[in-house]
Amino acid sequence: MSDDFLWFAQTAFAAAADIAFACALGALMFRVWLSREQAFAPLSPALAGWRRAARIGAGAASVLVLCSFASLWLEAAAMSGAPVIKAGASLWLVATGTHAGIGGSVSLAGSVLLWLAAVSDRPASAARTGLAACAVLIVAAGKSAVGHAADAGAFSAAEAVQALHLLATAGWGGVVIAGAWVLPALDTSTARATLIRLTARMSRAAMVAVALVIATGAFNAWRGTGGSPGVLMSSAWGHALLVKLGLIAAALLLGALNRWSGLPRLQRSAATADAHTVINVLRLEALLMAGVFVAAAVLSRSVPGASLAG
């Protein structure tokens, strides 16, 4: 098995895991919001949205568990030098005896907890929401120990910032990607009021997440470049970062378009055409956010520019 294939497989599963994590988190947020709307009631006009959010959450959490295990398996293959199909022999040693393996194991454990919280289609209770919140924190902590932040050492400030960055990015991307699936189920005249309220909540949550993404992302970028912007153009890591920044900028523009134009117009008119406009812009933003997660996975598997410059 070639190193190039192994790198590609690790990157692909990392990207899929990040997207699944974001979707699971976004679906959880929508379920909490829809619970406040009593959308789980049999006669609720928003029942279709509730059911869709439940399906997305359970499906995304299932994919996250599978991708987390696959990533840990591939890490064992990479560290042991064994063929992928035989990496199971060294899986336990890597999972318990290396920093990256322990981080992957923590992430996998958090993924299982998140799956347990997501598989139920019952209304979001305080206990289940608390379990899901703990699971999300565990997943983010585990993921932060697998990437470049781990170079600074276990429980370092770099890992803490990276964990917060992962949470913020998943929160932003999650409400956008999950929203692109959930909101169309509310695109009826009887559920229009719920759609408007959820879009407003989603917009406010995304604003908070974006602020955290920018702050933590700036720190990570500075750390990755070592304070030397020249590495952005002279390394594959820098090229991936520029692509990621470009996708984020485009997603921000679409989000701003919905927040400052589409949503106010929809709130004033409650018209079907305006609802379609908001949803279609959201779908485009969701595609860009998926690209952001792919670029982030490439970054995590590339040598930082500062290391190459040094």
Q: What is the mean pLDDT of residues 3-24?
A: 93
Q: What's the angle, vertex CA 277, arms to CA 274 and CA 283, rounded to 5? A: 145
Buried b (16+ CB within 10 A) or exposed e, 182-191: bbbbbbbeeb
Q: What is the mean pLDDT of the chain?
A: 90
CATH number of the domain at 19, please: 1.20.1630
39-63 pLDDT, tens digit per residue, is 999 999 999 999 999 999 999 999 9
266-301 pLDDT, tens digit per residue, is 999 999 999 999 999 999 999 999 999 999 999 888
- Residues with Cβ within 8 Å of 264's Cβ and at least 6 positions away in sequence, in order, are none
Q: What is the mean pLDDT of residues 7-18?
A: 94
In the predicted structure, residue 305 carries a pLDDT above the cut 70: no
State the residue range of the domain holding 107: 3-309
When computed from its CA atoms, the radius of gyration of the chain, rounded to whole angstroms, is 20
Domain count, the chain: 1
Largest CA distance in the chain: 64
pTM for this one?
0.93
- Residues with Cβ within 8 Å of 196's Cβ and at least 6 positions away in sequence, in order, are 263, 266, 267, 270
Give dist(CA 90, CA 9) in Å, integer: 18
pLDDT for 38: 93
In the predicted structure, residue 1 carries a pLDDT above the cut 50: no
Give dist(CA 97, CA 79) in Å, integer: 11
Q: What is the mean pLDDT of residues 13-25?
A: 96
For 239-242, the CB contacts below 8 A with 24+ separation are 240/295, 240/298, 240/299, 240/302, 241/295, 241/299, 241/305
At residue 294, φ and ψ (nearest 5 deg) are -65, -45
pLDDT for 149: 65
**Burial class of residue 43 in the structure, from the number of CB atoms within 10 Å of its CB (0-12 exposed, 13-18 middle, 19+ buried):** exposed
Give dist(CA 265, CA 257) in Å, integer: 11
271-280 pLDDT, tens digit per residue, is 999 999 999 9
